[in-house]
Amino acid sequence: MELTGSTLGRAPMAPSSAKLCHNTALSTKTAHAMRFAKLGFLQSMDFVAVSKPKCCAAHRSSAKCLVKALQSETLAKEGTVDDVYGGLSQVCAVLGTQWGDEGKGKLVDILSRSYDVVARCQGGSNAGHTIYDNDGKKYALHLVPSGILNQNATCVVGNGVVVHLPSFFQEIDNLEFNGVSCQGRVLVSDRAHLLFDIHRTVDGLREEELGGSKIGTTKRGIGPCYASKAIRNGIRVGDLRHMDTLRDKVDVLFQDAASRFKGFVYEKSILNAEMEHYKSYAERLEPYIADTVQYINMAYLEQKKILVEGGQATMLDVDFGTYPFVTSSNASVGGICTGLGIAPKRLGDIIGVAKAYTTRVGAGPFPTELFGQLADDLRTAGHEFGTTTGRPRRCGWIDIVALKYSSEINGFSALNLTKLDVLSNLPYINVGVSYKGQAGDLISSFPADLDVLGQVEALYFQVAYEVIPGWQSDISLIRKYEDLPTAARAYVERVETLVGLPVKFIGVGPGREALICK
């Protein structure tokens, strides 16, 4: 069934009194990982299930070989933690498809068990990835890759990331305090740019200057730092090894801000204090600094498996997102190559992460946005408050037009549909399947022109919805796809059909075990 309506609170809605369910209690560990053997990604030939062990003739009849044979037969049938990810390519990426906060960190955390290297390629501490360990302990990460809980993985902060050192060290300290060893396991690119507190100050001043046209940034200094990089007065991690010239470079940053903003008063005492801080930061960071371009490419040549974790998401990409209401880096597939120094032909599977509904933080177009009680209920049920800022997220229905646009740009192999459980108990769920202009003509792709998207209020721009029956039951403890209610499976499969991609992972809760592999 298809209905059409404006998206400014006039979209077809389930009754606002419907209660949303999101069971946040983490259940006991399950063997959900076994089902990853069913994936069928690119390079699935990497997975070989051996039914009989290779051994010499003299030992074929030994009890030891018999035990091995039985074990091999069992593993071939059921899969193991070691072989269930065999279908994933040597270089695999996890990217956001919407406006961020889709739950990328959870999938990266789970997949990292099968990878040697986990790398961040862009963004900064504006990214907020929440993950849980096996005991249900929550970790909020902003700069350190989400593979850090896998003790066998090396975590790389790539050259495309902007690094605020006080935040980085605070994150390291919190991890160490909670028993997560970071020593020798975290590398920071010597080419990554440093984000100074002055960048944060400028970010806030810039937002105030925009007045009613604010972008809605996190005010973490990300944009100004990337601006410094672009106009070539940025300072890189490697510059910390040259303290004799660092002072002059930092002075340029302060002078530039003072000349640009009347509200910023610059005195040499500010520079002196900053240099004292960075003298100690440089000493502490030294063990982490590495030529990560060389490291990543050597790891590839040594047949190590590399998992890339994207920050933010495609609809916030500086080129492809709802500009200017975007982040300041390429959060789509191109950012992997430029942010890590890895060749495009070496990329394999690219998994797109999408919520079963849609959220965004800050200002900017949001075609399928909801308002009123239903939006509040969705926000509460999904715990939709920013990991980085704590700001309430705007909530709406899933947007297939934006999702298909994102898929075209990134070339996704498959999707991870997260937070399906949040929609539980809704009698009806709306799916935004197309955009239509004033005359009812179909808009074939996601518009670059914000004026077109801005016409929602005047009813010149409309979103066409399909209304799908809800399942109205708690699914948070379900671990097999076939055990989901018929209506829940129908929703997932409709998304697959509309986007043209398989949904391989389905999130039904925040914990590691709350993942269904389809």
Q: In the annotation, is 135 catalytic?
A: no
* Residue 276 to residue 243: CA distance in whole angstroms: 11
Burial of 145 (0-12, 13-18, 19+ CB in 10 A): buried
DSSP 149: G
The CA distances from residue 267 to 117, 197, 257, 273, 366, in Å, are 43, 15, 12, 10, 43
Angle ∠(478,356,214) on CA atoms, nearest 5? 140
Other C-beta atoms within 10 Å of 424: how many?
Answer: 22
DSSP helix/strand/coil, 392: strand
Choose the catalytic residue: 22, 83, 101, 199: 101
Choose the catalytic residue: 22, 129, 164, 199: 129
* Residue 172 to residue 249: CA distance in whole angstroms: 27
- Residue 306 has which token pair? 């590399």
Strand residues in 406-482 grouped as ranges (E): 414-418, 428-436, 442-443, 462-469
Per-position b or e across 481-493, b if 16+ CB within 10 A of its CB: beebbeebbebbe
Strand residues in 388-427 grouped as ranges (E): 394-396, 398-399, 414-418
- Phi first, then psi: what are they for 122, rounded to 5°? -160, 180
Task: Name the CA radius of gyration of the chain, rounded.
Answer: 24
- Cβ distance 117 to 294 under 8 Å? no
Nearest to 432 by CA among 9, 10, 8, 11: 11
Task: State which H helix or E strand residue 186 sits in.
Answer: strand 186-189
The CA distances from residue 80 to 261, 290, 306, in Å, are 59, 34, 20
Angle ∠(513,516,518) on CA atoms, nearest 5? 150
Burial of 343 (0-12, 13-18, 19+ CB in 10 A): exposed
Q: In the annotation, is 164 catalytic?
A: no
Backbone CA torsion sign across 227, 230, 234, 238: positive
Other C-beta atoms within 10 Å of 251: how many?
Answer: 15
The CA distances from residue 58 to 50, 70, 72, in Å, are 20, 18, 19
Q: Which residue has the tokens 């009754």?
A: 15
Task: State which H helix or E strand residue 304 sits in.
Answer: none
Burial of 64 (0-12, 13-18, 19+ CB in 10 A): exposed
- Residue 415 has which token pair? 């999707």
Residues forming the active site: 101, 129
